[in-house]
Amino acid sequence: MRRRSFLAAIAAGTAASLSGCLEGEVVLDVTESVQIPAHQGWIQEIDEVDGGGEIAYAVRSDQARFETFYFTETAALQTYQEFTLGGEEIDEPPEGDDELRAIAVADDERGVYEAALPGDGGRHELTFEGTHYFVVDHSNYGDVTVPDTAEDLSVTVELEVVEDRL
């Protein structure tokens, strides 16, 4: 009887200690207000993750629609920067990871435009190899049209990246 109680206690302790590891370690937690110049973007480099992980984000603005991109290759980010900073026309601009790309939609109840992923409030699984880049775009790079007379865009960014630990 004592042996079973002892083994049950060991199993419960092991499960409790592993449960924190299975959820992972937060390696990036950004919550900030950002001013994005017209026809440019805000870029967050993600380089602390190795292997598997998860990401969640919510970006809100009470001014205008915007778009988010998630680039897994530095060359794709450089193309984005050439367009937004240099004004170079690009025939087929890379749009990054389709699952993580979003166009802000109006939330009439809250009076804001919001782009969030995943929509259920959880996290999206990712495999990380190298540096990734999260971009909040206020240019004509993607599908959202920004007028020539656009002003800087104020957004609130909430971004969390978790590295799986075992």
Q: Of 98, 104, 156, whose CA–CA distance to 124 is shortest?
A: 98
Task: Enumerate the domain spans of the chain.
Answer: 25-163
Which pLDDT tens digit goes with each residue over 50-66? 889 999 999 999 999 99
Who has greater pLDDT, 128 or 31?
31
Contact 96, 71 (CB under 8 A): yes
Q: Give the per-residue pLDDT at 7.
A: 34
Nearest-angstrom CA–CA distance, 28 and 8? 36
Question: Which numeric CATH code is attached to 25-163?
Answer: 2.60.120.680
pLDDT score of 133 more than 80: yes
Q: Answer yes or no: is pLDDT of 155 > 80.
A: yes
Q: What is the pLDDT of residue 166?
A: 62
Q: Give SS3 for 25.
A: strand
pTM of the model: 0.83
pLDDT average, residue stretch 88-92: 82
Q: Count other Cβ atoms within 10 Å, centred on residue 145.
A: 9
Phi, psi of 140 (to 5 degrees): -95, 25
- Peptide bond between residue 118 and the one before it cis (omega within 30 degrees of 0): yes
Helix ranges (H only) for the chain are 2-23, 74-86
Residues 78, 129: Cα–Cα separation, whole Å: 17
Report the distance separating Cα 49 and Cα 113, nearest Å.
29
Average pLDDT rounded to a whole number, residues 8-12: 38
Mean pLDDT of the chain: 85
